[in-house]
Amino acid sequence: MNSDRRMRLEALEEALGYRFNDPSLLDCALTHRSYANENPDLLKQDNERLEFLGDAVLTLCISDMLMKKFPDCTEGDLSKIRSSIVNEKPLARLAKELHLGDYLLLGRGEDISGGRLKHSLLANAFEAIIAAIYCDTGFDGVCAFVGRRFLRLLDTGDIKVLYQDYKTSLQEITQNRFRIIPRYSVLREFGPDHDKVFQIRVSVGDIVSTAGLGRNKKEAEQRAAKKALEAIESLRLPDNGEDVQE
């Protein structure tokens, strides 16, 4: 690693809040296989092995955090929360906050095609960095890093939207009360291909119609269903449970 590269990585270490004992681990975590393949004379190892390890380390760290933060949650709920966090979009979002794309070593073709903005590459690099920290300092150190980076995600009210199954709840309620099922439709989608936002409407006959935004269709549907449930709860329902007439 030359001095210019080392200086750049020191700036990233500052943003990460972690100083590596072995900076070459961080350099490897940011090396895409396209760069390693195009520069065989540099004998650089790509980040795929670190990514593999980082996925497992992150899963264990997040599982430990969830067990402590949500002591009353069932195993099923904990699994849903974890899967909503340990996936490409949240990881890519955290990577963007750190401007990881600026530090990636990419092959020429990958760079020209916008690799520095690709969610998959950013998420993979973030997982590789987690593995690099684990290799550099051990489990307690990497858990502290993961805690600092992910606690904000867990503390937001949005986390419930990501794991709670509002769609199923809405369907059960509308079938029981109104004898109809919700209908979902895409109102619009906007943003670049690598960072799409969807707006989806859910309608329950002529009774309720709400819309939700999300980074994917599933998330937007869940948000729309949550709003529909809240709207239905505000309706004055007959005590005998008969259909509501507007």
Write out the DSSP string of 192-245. -GGG-EEEEEEEETTTEEEEEEESSHHHHHHHHHHHHHHHHHHS---TT-PPP-
Q: Catalytic one among 27, 46, 51, 127?
A: 127
Write out the DSSP string of 63-77. HHHHHHH-TT--HHH
Q: Is 127 a catalytic residue?
A: yes
- Contacts of 7-12 with C-beta under 8 Å, sequence gap 24+, read 8/103, 9/103, 12/98, 12/100, 12/103
| Nearest CA-CA partner of 16 in 119, 137, 155, 115 | 137
Q: Are 230 and 204 in contact (CB under 8 A)?
A: no
Q: Is 55 a catalytic residue?
A: yes
| Nearest CA-CA partner of 26 in 131, 154, 181 | 131
Spell out the residues 6+ positions from residue 187 whose beta carbon is closer than 8 angstroms to its own: 199, 200, 201, 211
Q: How far apart are CA 117 and CA 114, in angstroms?
A: 6
Q: Where are the alpha helices (DSSP H) in 42-165?
A: 48-69, 75-85, 88-97, 108-112, 119-137, 139-155, 158-163
Q: How far apart are CA 130 and CA 58, in angstroms?
A: 7
Q: Catalytic one among 46, 51, 55, 221?
A: 55
Catalytic residue ranges: 55, 127
